Amino acid sequence: MDKNEVPNWLLSLEKEDIEFIKNFVINSGSLKEIAKYYQVSYPTVRLRLDKLIQKIEVNDSIESEEFIGFIKKLSIDDRISLEDAKLIIDKYKKEVRISE
């Protein structure tokens, strides 16, 4: 997969979130196994998963917005750098959250 094809919701995740997803997949989606791995309770893992789901849903819905698509297209066309595109999109997301 080309780096320009990576979904924005994935790029917006923290390193710990991606590590959690990796461990979740490796453990066949077993929350019990994840709880053992992180040495925490099942409800703690469930809460973390729920928060991660919400984060992905928010970023995925924002992804479909026209402005973000425009910025991504500028980056794909090499009119702005990928790093600048990420900064602009992150700033936009923060502004959208503040106004809601």
Instruction: Choose among 73, 52, 65: nearest CA to 93.
Output: 65
The Cβ-side half-sphere exposure at 93, using a 13 Å CA radius, reads 21
pLDDT averaged over the chain?
85
pLDDT of res. 99:
58
**Each residue's pLDDT tens digit, 50-63:** 988 888 877 776 66
Confidence band (pLDDT; 50, 70, 90) for 38? very high
pLDDT of res. 67:
85
Backbone phi, psi, residue 43, to 5°? -60, -30
Structure token pair of residue 55: 């984060």
d(CA 95, CA 5) in angstroms, rounded, equals: 25
d(CA 38, CA 41) in angstroms, rounded, equals: 9
**Each residue's pLDDT tens digit, 41-94:** 999 999 999 988 888 877 776 666 778 888 887 887 788 988 898 899 888 888
Distance, CA of 47 to chain centre = 17
Region of poorest pLDDT, from 5-9, 12-16, 51-55: 5-9
d(CA 94, CA 100) in angstroms, rounded, equals: 10
100 has a pLDDT exceeding 60: no
pLDDT of res. 31:
95
